């Protein structure tokens, strides 16, 4: 009876975390009905120990193993209990559970899964019965289970079980963000890591179904691409992401080619002559950008080069050796390697303006004036729950300022961290923050066309590792269920009016001039007299409607640049007018 209750407890705990475990215990005699059946107990190299089955388990009559170590041998593994090989499968996740206690608090035992590979976990016991769990993924078929008694003391263990962790059911989504984004060629995506795609079916499936763009979170950074100088560039992880994206029609951003934090240890340890470093970086940019030429639509060429105070360029090994003009060179080399890629300067804490923004603005302005091939600025957008409307209008303001330089703006690393303790209303306001950000992109097309988040599920976000009091930053939760933020993004995208069916581009016929975005409007020339037309912005809001006459000026109140659609009254003739 006791055992059934115990099993139910384990199953419900695991269901919350990661699906469920199978009921079958893959070990035999895990409760030590007998001392030696399926187990052998060793004590060697001078170790002195005793072991026995006793009936002093957790409840009267329960059997357990009692192991007393009086003297250790010369190795940590000299005193051990070994269970026969059990049926492990390569790549499958397993959970070990056991109850244990020691004759004094703090004594340790080591549990091990081993054949040719070796996986282990040290358990620190107390002097009362406690349950311990350990999850691992088997690196091979068939493993031994071992307990190393590597500290002196008396230990009791009971109810040892290994169960297979069953994959959690993958939530099904009735709708898809990318479906609506694709209708207007908007890039909506997330930073990805390769092993998620390879080993986590839910990660792969939900990403693939919901998004149409991606950026490697780490795999294209120099330390990840080139961790060891002698071994050369390791393409495996970056290729995994690029190949997946290409197979599934996802647009790819590249991140990044130069970053003060993205310097491999061996690179930092070298003594560089300026010429040698310059040649090295040129070759690096040509090699990396060249490999993915035509596959990566947009590259973060230089990342976070302005220091936090917002005035000066950061001082690190590359700027110290080559000066700040390395920024220009990086863009020139990237352009040589792929002349079609959109080349971006990417940074944080510039989104709402201020000193750092001004410095970036001047840098980009100067680069443009000098003919350096820079095509965009990336606003990272690592935000909290910023619900004040002034916050978003200042972002839109900076977007417009950048656009005036003749370059695009991408939102490149959006997340909205919530402060702990997180309350239900926080999820709702997080949703409205995500919606506001998406509306900024939609209102400012074609200057903006990328809404990239730094991950998509709270299960895999950098935030909790870096900030202990912040979490749940993304639109999909840890178990892959949609949050209000997901619903808000979907709702905004659904309002977008697509160009479909019989759509015919009549902009040339009806648009005569829109020379001055602030006031001029445009002249309609090719209209069908008597027909009702609507001017709709990309979010679906009707901005003007009526029967317009040939030669009439419309759109004078559309003071913002952006993408507008003219719908003819018969619902068939649709046209997208881009006010640049």
Q: Which residues are catalytic?
A: 304, 413
Q: What is the C-alpha separation between 521 and 499, in angstroms, rounded?
A: 22
467 contributes a contact to ligand G3I by CB under 6 A:
no
DSSP-derived 3-state class of residue 170 = coil
Do the beta carbons of residue 152 and residue 70 sit within 8 Å? yes
Q: Could you give the dihedral angle defined by the CA atoms of residues 146, 162, 136 and 458, in that order, rounded to the nearest 10 degrees?
A: -150
Task: Pick the closer one to ligand G3I by CB: 159 or 237.
Answer: 237
Per-residue CA distances from 566 to 26, 185, 503, 507, 553 (Å): 66, 18, 11, 9, 14
Contacts of residue 219, defined as CB under 8 A and 6 or more positions apart, other chains included, come to 193, 194, 225, 237, 238, 240, 241
Token output for 316? 């690190």
Among 43, 240, 380, 449, binds ligand G3I (CB under 6 A): 380
Closest CA to 301 of 348, 361, 337, 256: 256
Give the number of other Cβ atoms within 10 Å of residue 79's Cβ: 28
410 contributes a contact to ligand G3I by CB under 6 A:
no
Q: What is the C-alpha separation between 81 and 147, in angstroms, rounded?
A: 5
CB of 193 to ligand G3I, least distance (A): 7
Task: Pick the closer one to ligand G3I by CB: 70 or 118.
Answer: 118
CB of 132 to ligand G3I, least distance (A): 23
| Ramachandran area for residue 521 (φ above 0: left; ψ -120 to 50: alpha; else beta) | left
CB of 547 to ligand G3I, least distance (A): 51
Q: What is the C-alpha separation between 375 and 346, in angstroms, rounded?
A: 11
Q: How far is CA 278 from the centre of its chain?
A: 32
CB of 398 to ligand G3I, least distance (A): 18
Closest CA to 573 of 505, 495, 523: 505
413 contributes a contact to ligand G3I by CB under 6 A:
yes
Burial class of residue 60, CB neighbours in 10 A (0-12, 13-18, 19+): exposed
Contact region with ligand G3I (CB under 6 A), list: 163-171, 217-225, 268-276, 355-363: 217-225
Task: Pick the closer one to ligand G3I by CB: 136 or 180.
Answer: 136
Task: Pick the closer one to ligand G3I by CB: 217 or 396.
Answer: 217
Q: Which 280-309 positions form the footprint of ligand G3I (CB under 6 A)?
A: 303
Q: What is the C-alpha separation between 143 and 206, in angstroms, rounded?
A: 33
Task: Pick the closer one to ligand G3I by CB: 212 or 303.
Answer: 303
Contact region with ligand G3I (CB under 6 A), list: 164-172, 215-223, 273-281, 489-497: 215-223
Contacts of residue 54, defined as CB under 8 A and 6 or more positions apart, other chains included, come to 63, 64, 65, 66, 156
218 contributes a contact to ligand G3I by CB under 6 A:
yes
62 contributes a contact to ligand G3I by CB under 6 A:
no
How many positions of this chain bind ligand G3I (CB under 6 A)? 8
Task: Report cis status (omega within 30 of 0) of the bond before 421.
Answer: yes
237 contributes a contact to ligand G3I by CB under 6 A:
no
CB of 468 to ligand G3I, least distance (A): 15
CB of 236 to ligand G3I, least distance (A): 13
Closest CB to ligand G3I: residue number: 462
Per-residue contact flags (x/-) with ligand G3I for residues 382 to 401, judged by CB under 6 A = --------------------
Task: Pick the closer one to ligand G3I by CB: 337 or 381.
Answer: 381
Task: Pick the closer one to ligand G3I by CB: 105 or 469.
Answer: 469
462 contributes a contact to ligand G3I by CB under 6 A:
yes
Contact region with ligand G3I (CB under 6 A), list: 5-13, 213-221, 497-505, 562-570: 213-221
Chain positions contacting ligand G3I, by CB under 6 A: 217-218, 221, 261, 303, 380, 413, 462
């Amino acid at each position: 009876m006791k055992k059934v209750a115990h099993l139910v407890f384990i199953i419900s705990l695991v269901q919350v975390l990661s699906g469920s475990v199978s009921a079958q215990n893959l070990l035999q005699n895990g409760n030590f009905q007998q001392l030696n059946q399926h187990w052998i107990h060793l004590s060697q190299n001078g170790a002195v120990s005793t072991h026995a089955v006793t009936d002093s388990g957790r409840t009267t009559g329960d059997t357990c193993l009692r192991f007393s170590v009086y003297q250790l041998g010369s190795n940590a593994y000299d005193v051990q209990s070994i269970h026969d090989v059990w049926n492990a499968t390569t790549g499958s996740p397993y959970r070990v559970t056991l109850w244990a206690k020691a004759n004094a608090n703090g004594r340790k035992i080591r549990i091990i899964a081993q054949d040719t590979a070796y996986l282990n976990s040290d358990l620190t016991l107390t002097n009362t019965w406690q349950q311990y769990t350990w999850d691992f993924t088997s690196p091979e078929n068939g493993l031994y289970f071992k307990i190393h008694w590597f500290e002196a003391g008396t230990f009791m263990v009971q109810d040892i079980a290994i169960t297979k962790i069953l994959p959690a059911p993958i939530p099904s989504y009735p709708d898809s963000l990318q479906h609506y984004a694709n209708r207007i060629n908007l890039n909506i995506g997330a930073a990805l890591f390769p092993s998620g795609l390879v080993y986590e079916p839910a990660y792969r499936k939900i990403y693939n179904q919901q998004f149409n763009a991606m950026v490697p979170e780490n795999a294209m950074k120099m330390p990840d691409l080139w961790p060891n100088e002698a071994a050369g560039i390791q393409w495996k992880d970056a290729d995994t992401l690029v190949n997946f994206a290409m197979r599934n029609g996802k647009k790819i951003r590249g991140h990044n080619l130069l970053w003060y934090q993205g310097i491999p240890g061996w690179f930092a340890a070298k003594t560089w002559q300026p010429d040698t470093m310059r040649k090295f970086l040129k070759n690096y940019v040509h090699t990396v950008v060249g490999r993915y030429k035509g596959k990566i639509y947009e590259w973060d060429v230089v990342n976070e080069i302005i220091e936090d105070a917002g005035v000066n360029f950061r001082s690190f090994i590359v700027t110290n050796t080559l000066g700040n003009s390395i920024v220009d060179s990086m863009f020139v080399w990237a352009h040589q390697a792929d002349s079609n890629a959109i080349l971006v300067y990417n940074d944080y804490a510039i989104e709402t303006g201020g000193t750092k923004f001004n410095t970036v603005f001047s840098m980009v302005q100067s680069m443009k004036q000098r003919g350096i091939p820079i095509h965009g600025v990336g606003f990272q957008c690592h935000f909290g729950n910023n619900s004040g409307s002034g916050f978003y209008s200042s972002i839109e303001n900076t977007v417009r300022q950048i656009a005036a330089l003749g370059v695009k703006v991408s939102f490149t690393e959006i997340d909205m961290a919530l402060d702990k303790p997180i309350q239900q209303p926080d999820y709702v306001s997080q949703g409205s923050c995500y919606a506001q950000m998406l509306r900024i992109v939609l209102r400012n097309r074609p200057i903006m066309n990328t809404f990239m988040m730094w991950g998509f599920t709270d299960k895999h976000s950098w935030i909790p590792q870096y900030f202990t009091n912040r979490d749940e930053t993304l639109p999909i939760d840890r178990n892959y269920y949609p949050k209000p933020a997901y619903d808000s993004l979907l709702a905004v995208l659904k309002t977008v009016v697509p160009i479909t069916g019989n759509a015919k581009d009549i902009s040339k016929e009806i648009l005569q001039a829109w020379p001055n975005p602030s006031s001029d409007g445009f002249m309609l020339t090719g209209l069908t007299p008597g027909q009702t037309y609507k001017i709709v912005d990309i979010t679906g809001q009707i901005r003007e409607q009526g029967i317009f006459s040939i030669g009439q000026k419309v759109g004078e109140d559309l003071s913002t640049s952006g993408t507008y659609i003219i719908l003819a009254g018969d619902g068939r003739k649709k046209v997208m007018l881009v006010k640049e």
